[in-house]
Amino acid sequence: MIIRKFPPTLCLLLLILLFGCANNKSIQSSTYNPKPESYKIFDIKPEPYKKALQQINNMDYDMALKYLDLTITDFPNSKYVNNSYILESIIYNGKTMANRILIQSLMAGVQQGAEYYNSEERQLINKYFATLQSELNKLEDESRRSIIFVAEKLNTNQLDFNDVSIKLVQPSPKTSLDFFKSVGYPVPTEYEFNSIKNEYEQEAINYMLNNAIKSGEINLPQYYYDIATLSYYFDYDNELTLKLCNKVLQLTEKDKYNEVRLQVEDFIKEIKRK
């Protein structure tokens, strides 16, 4: 697996994840669950979409993904399908980034301390790598699928984030792989590993959500640029990455001094040099 150097725009997230990183939970129940057929009116917000936003508030991103998928499959004619694909892409890509960073950190630590591990510690390390790699393979498939949709099919004229009230609570630093990464010891317990993994994912997803959505509005140029950089550094094909970059150029066509546009122009040059 090739791991590229992260660009400056993602360095902040990388630092946050590597130097400390998580949570809440509450689900509001609904007494009214209309059938999908009743959503003939294009602008009505589907029930699973509302529940997805609740779960994003709770930082339960796995449950949020389930509700976003239900919105997409059960309400294909709703304008909120476009919102759902954007939120889905952010969650999948945030999870993918967190898993890659965890693998990098574990690899760095193992290089420092491998010769000192006993058989039980070696088994734990192997288990962590197997868990992360298995999950990463699935995440990258979903991540790529969502990226292809936003690059080729997203209807930017049907986006409505005006009433999106996502309380983006930043996870408080609890644990990290800092020390292990630098000296390779002590090997994290399974509880510690799972806690760190959860916190890294929350941090990555929250960063991307905060970067893209502010005051109920989505910053599409920033969103497309973030997804483009991830597409490139996740080693997806350059054609897909360039499609996302071109979305930024189209959106900022009348604003040639737009900061994101200037960053994308440099990014395109970097891609074409390689």
Q: Which two tokens stand for residue 269?
A: 């040059």
Looking at residue 169, its pLDDT comes to 58
The CA distances from residue 153 to 81, 86, 148, 244, 247, in Å, are 11, 11, 8, 11, 11
Pairwise CA distance, residues 78 & 160, whole Å: 11
Percent of the chain with pLDDT over 70: 79
Contact 84, 97 (CB under 8 A): no
Residue by residue, what is the 3-state secondary structure of 98-133?
Answer: HHHHHHHHHHHHHHHHHHHCCHHHHHHHHHHHHHHH
Express each pLDDT in 139-177 by its tens digit: 999 988 888 988 998 888 777 776 565 665 555 555 678
The residue type found at 212 is: A
Looking at residue 214, its pLDDT comes to 76
Looking at residue 241, its pLDDT comes to 93
Mean pLDDT across the stretch 54-71? 94
Burial of 94 from C-beta contacts in 10 A (0-12 / 13-18 / 19+): buried
Looking at residue 233, its pLDDT comes to 85
Q: Which two tokens stand for residue 64?
A: 């949020």
The predicted model scores a pTM of: 0.80
Burial of 151 from C-beta contacts in 10 A (0-12 / 13-18 / 19+): buried
- Reported as a pLDDT band with limits 50, 70 and 90, residue 24 is very low
Q: Which two tokens stand for residue 46?
A: 């589907």
Express each pLDDT in 72-104 by its tens digit: 999 998 888 888 999 999 999 999 999 999 999
